[in-house]
Amino acid sequence: MTPPQRRRRHPGQETATPPPTPLFKEGKGKEGDEKAPERLYVVAGPDGERADIDLVTLIVARADPPPSAPPEQTAMLRLCTAPLSVAELSAYLSLPFSVVTVLLTDMLTAELVQARAPIVRQALPDRSLLEAVMHGLQRL
């Protein structure tokens, strides 16, 4: 078996495929926005200890967003007036799970939100409860 041969490019010869275009042009964001997107490490801040949060942990806002809160935290607090899972927050804000957990850790330490464990239902209902319901229905 012979190794594949590389073709030599000549200065005047054009390539068959055009070079890929960047997603965001310098100074302009997607679809003509004036602001370029923030890097995720700028949004999340320094990487320190994280709270024990998984995708199904429910988050509830405990306070209104303070004026000094970044826009991502303000958006989270407005979304969390009703309990939302971390996966839903990540989807609604279009942020990765790791960035959301860092932001939520900061908000938990500032006591702006409360994290609740998801409601775990038992695999099988209590047999005595089912028998009591069945007997009650038979009496009707």
- pLDDT over 80 at 7, yes or no: no
- pLDDT over 60 at 61, yes or no: yes
Long-range contacts of 63-70, Cβ-Cβ distance < 8 Å, separation of 24 or more: 63/111, 63/112, 65/112, 66/112, 69/112, 70/43
Contact of 101 with 113, CB cutoff 8 Å: no
Model confidence at 66, pLDDT cuts 50, 70, 90, reads confident
Helix, strand, coil % in the chain, rounded to nearest 5: 35, 5, 55
Give the residue-averaged pLDDT of 106-133: 83
pTM of the model: 0.54
Q: Which of 35-39, 56-60, 83-87, 131-135 has the lowest mean pLDDT?
A: 35-39
Residue-wise DSSP of 107-133: HHHTTSEEEEPPPPPPSS--HHHHHHH
Predicted pLDDT of residue 9: 65
Predicted pLDDT of residue 54: 85
Give the residue-averaged pLDDT of 64-83: 87
Q: Which of 50-54, 84-88, 121-125, 134-138 has the lowest mean pLDDT?
A: 121-125
